[in-house]
Chain A
Amino acid sequence: MNHSEELMLNAYLDNELDVRETDRFLSWIDSNPKFKIRLEELQANKQLLKSAFDDEVSKTEIPGLCARMQLPELGQVAASLVFGVVLGIVSTNLHNLGGNDKETLGATNIAQTEKPLVIHLDKNDQALLKRTVEMAESALLAGANEQKPVEILTNANGLDLLDANSPYASQLTHLMKKYPNLRLVACTNGIARKLERGETVNLLPGIVQERSAIEHVVDRLQSGWSYLRI
């Protein structure tokens, strides 16, 4: 069998021939039994190759929109990727707080708008914990008259902010008493993962638990809240 005959067999096998070519091919192969045998062999091998990987299923934790497993099963890294994707497709209500003064100033402005605000923290970094509390306080102060709802949403290592042993525990307790419109929210999935890792979780009293941080953010955004990621 020469090279072009082999190419022709493959093209037929892969449905690459048009109607006229297929007709010509079929009459050609009818008169060449050895090509028929070769074609059958190629067909069988094609099927074998396809089925050789049938049992391969991805266990990939997919960023963002592809969470087949839903967020409960996504790990911390995947969760932060989720928010990365969320923030990568920025809408007007989404704000990512970086470290420089200009961004901080912008975030302060966001915190002081009239819209309800969800402040999201997913890291345990002293500077970020401090900034989260400051932003919340600033938003509460600005919206004191109209009782603007403000939430601090924590997941992954950001949950440490709401721990009873957090350096901000007493400040947060004080804020909650002073501002009934402040809600502190912990992601239940994040808590579950911490417990799985053998970590102790001892949250402050009055913390609200939500199953999935990302779904909570989505719900808030759909309800017209502003979102500030620390």
Chain B
Amino acid sequence: MKNKLAHLFGLNNELVEHICDSRDGLYRMARAWNADPALADDLVQETLDIALRKLDSLKDRQKIDAWLYRILFNQWQQFLRRKKPLELIDEEIKSPDQTPEQHTVCENLQAAVRLAIGELPERQRQVVTLVDLQGLSYNEVSQVLSIPVGTVMSRLSRARSALADKLQQYKNQQERVASTKGKLWRVK
């Protein structure tokens, strides 16, 4: 089907395939940027729709990933602007499905990592997820976010330090819980 349509409309099959195959990657990125699966789906759908319609505006095929994530980023920024025009973008997000208790006591490491990412300032979160989740180079991230490579490096470094601290707190917490398990307590 993809090939059929791509051929019919003179689109490059390889690029169309690449865009289609990027769906899950884009979705993971959108989920890392916000906790709402429905919103992530919307962002991805918008991104793919734009990408397919504007495929001929892609100048350098080697830069297709940066181009795709740039579109996703723009969609996300547009959403943020519509949602809260007066707030600063550089703020933390909290997962809406986390209760305050869950906020401090994570059920598992995966949840802890997600929560830690969600607690990063927006700009740091964008950089670290583009690099670590998607594997974009610093140069590509610089293109996606329209910031200098040096800024990419600084934000990434700060994000990773913050993540390391948060995950260390989680590990300490788990160790405390583990050390209390199995002990016998006598009520005086």
Further contacts, 6 of them, CB under 8 A, given A58-B24, A66-B48: A3-B154, A3-B157, A10-B153, A57-B27, A62-B48, A65-B6
Q: Is the CB of B1 within 8 A of A16?
A: no
Contacts A41-B164, A49-B133, A60-B44 known; A91 to B52 CB distance under 8 Å?
Answer: no
Q: List 19 A-B contacts (CB under 8 A).
A: A14-B131, A42-B160, A49-B113, A49-B128, A58-B24, A58-B26, A58-B44, A60-B27, A60-B48, A62-B48, A64-B49, A65-B1, A65-B2, A66-B2, A66-B19, A70-B1, A86-B9, A89-B53, A218-B5
- B26, B41, B114: the one within 8 Å of A52 (CB): B114
Q: Is the CB of B27 within 8 A of A89?
A: no
Residues of B within 8 A of A89 (CB): 9, 11, 53
A71 to B131, CA, bound (A): 34
- Residue from A56, A57, A71, A215 whose CB has the most chain B CB atoms within 10 Å: A56
Asked if A27 is at the interface of the complex by the 8 Å CB criterion, the answer is: no
Nearest to B134 among chain A residues (CB) is A50
Residues of B within 8 A of A6 (CB): 157, 161
A61 to B48, CA, bound (A): 10
Q: Is the CB of A10 within 8 A of B20?
A: no
Asked if A207 is at the interface of the complex by the 8 Å CB criterion, the answer is: no
Nearest to B153 among chain A residues (CB) is A7
Q: Is the CB of A56 within 8 A of B24?
A: yes
Asked if B144 is at the interface of the complex by the 8 Å CB criterion, the answer is: no
Q: Is the CB of B23 within 8 A of A66?
A: yes
- B2, B23, B31, B53: the one within 8 Å of A88 (CB): B53
- B4, B11, B153: the one within 8 Å of A11 (CB): B153
Total count of chain B residues near the partner, CB < 8 A? 48
Binding site for A on B (CB under 8 A): 1-2, 4-6, 8-9, 11, 16, 19-20, 23-24, 26-28, 31-32, 37, 40-41, 44-45, 48-49, 52-53, 109-110, 113-114, 117, 128-129, 131-133, 137-138, 153-154, 156-157, 160-161, 163-164, 167
Per-position contact with B for A125-148: 1 when CB-CB < 8 Å, else 0?
Answer: 000000000000000000000000
Q: Categorize the interface residue count of chain A.
A: 35 or more
Q: Is the CB of B5 within 8 A of A64?
A: yes
Q: Is the CB of A66 within 8 A of B52?
A: yes
Per-position contact with B for A43-60: 1 when CB-CB < 8 Å, else 0?
Answer: 001101111110011111
- B20, B128, B133: the one within 8 Å of A65 (CB): B20
Nearest to A16 among chain B residues (CB) is B138
- Residue from A16, A58, A63 whose CB has the most chain B CB atoms within 10 Å: A58
A156 to B110, CA, bound (A): 41
Nearest to A82 among chain B residues (CB) is B5
Shortest Cβ distance from residue B181 to the other chain A in the assembled complex, whole angstroms: 24
Asked if A200 is at the interface of the complex by the 8 Å CB criterion, the answer is: no
A80 to B163, CA, bound (A): 43
Residues of A within 8 A of B31 (CB): 53, 56
